Amino acid sequence: MKIAVLKELADGETRVSATPETVKKFAKLGASISVEKGAGESASISDAEFEEAGAALETRAAAIKDADILLGIQGPDPKSLKGIKKGAWIAASLNPFGERDRIDAYAKLGVEALAMEFMPRITRAQSMDILSSQSNLSGYKAVVLAGAEYGRAFPMMMTAAGTVNAAKCFVMGVGVAGLQAIATARRLGAQVSATDVRPETAEQIESLGAKPIFDDDLASDGEGGYAAELTDEQKAKQAELVSSHISKQDIVITTALIPGRPAPRLVSDAQIATMKAGSVIVDLAAEQGGNVEGAISGETVVKHGVKIIGAKNMPATMAADSSALFARNHYNFLSAFWDEENGKPVLDEEIGDAIRLTKDGAVVNERLLAN
């Protein structure tokens, strides 16, 4: 069983899908590991460290040749996979809805493409969930980035020259990223409030010392740990709720996503205009169309005196930690299904059917086919 770790080729991608820690663990399972030369450099992992852990350092072509499993952060360009054998697995974040042509190309190559972001949100799969591990870091970094752009202090400060009031931070969307954003803003001393369309998150918000901002009529129960899209009536009530609160805020962090659809619009240009000059908004959904009107992925724009930061691949800005977590997700996934007798992982139906996009030359995932 050969596992290949490829260097990421996407612009701005600094992470790597394995670390010396997971290389050693895979070796203990009986796998041989090939790492493309330079794969870990942008994540502060040298080739020598991989080699010391037991990996073979190879060119991309040599790593791919005869590999049974290819690990990646983002899905590799099919054109860069010359020589891959039929039936090999590609396990990575594959963006199935946004990169359908690439998925079709994987099918033509005869490989099994496994979308790690399709991992079901069930108890036994928590340690395999790349969305949770990477979102955690995104929520943290969003607040740190906002603090760097905000022209004032976060905590209240009482000095001989007078008092500095605490910043007011509003988090919209209380999933993994939102909860970490709340916790980080609180640690920095901000007055924090948060909202979500799922009423059950109110208790989580309060447990972190923040104030829940809710309208009971906005309850939206989705599937797999995500909220469902609001009705038009609910959207109008959500806008009214936000408008009455956002004008008083210094920092706003938005995190709302709906799998397979554009990000829901949470903050309008008119609402931004009510905020104080010098306020900062960080839109963690900018790559999926944005929660904030006017947000541009990868750019910071100023509207009505408010800085709007369109986050892009936030985990890649913390390459060492995000790589370590992603690599552990990969190891936890493969090791959980490792069949010692056959010396390879064998997926069960519940998780296998959820994440498998292609097999035997065809696209087979029901979610992708139904979209």
360 given a catalytic annotation = no
CA distances from 181 to 45, 209, 260, 335 (A): 28, 12, 24, 31
First CA to last CA distance, the chain: 34
| Tokens (6 digits) for 267 | 């903050």
- Among residues 32, 68, 104, 121, the one annotated as catalytic is 121
- Among residues 15, 42, 74, 129, the one annotated as catalytic is 129
- Among residues 17, 34, 74, 132, the one annotated as catalytic is 132
132 given a catalytic annotation = yes
Number of alpha carbons in the 13 Å side-chain half-sphere of residue 360? 2
Dist CA 266 CA 103 (whole Å)? 31
121 given a catalytic annotation = yes
126 given a catalytic annotation = yes
- Among residues 80, 126, 207, 244, the one annotated as catalytic is 126
Dist CA 216 CA 206 (whole Å)? 16
106 given a catalytic annotation = no
- Among residues 106, 140, 150, 226, the one annotated as catalytic is 226
Residues marked as catalytic: 121, 126, 129, 132, 226
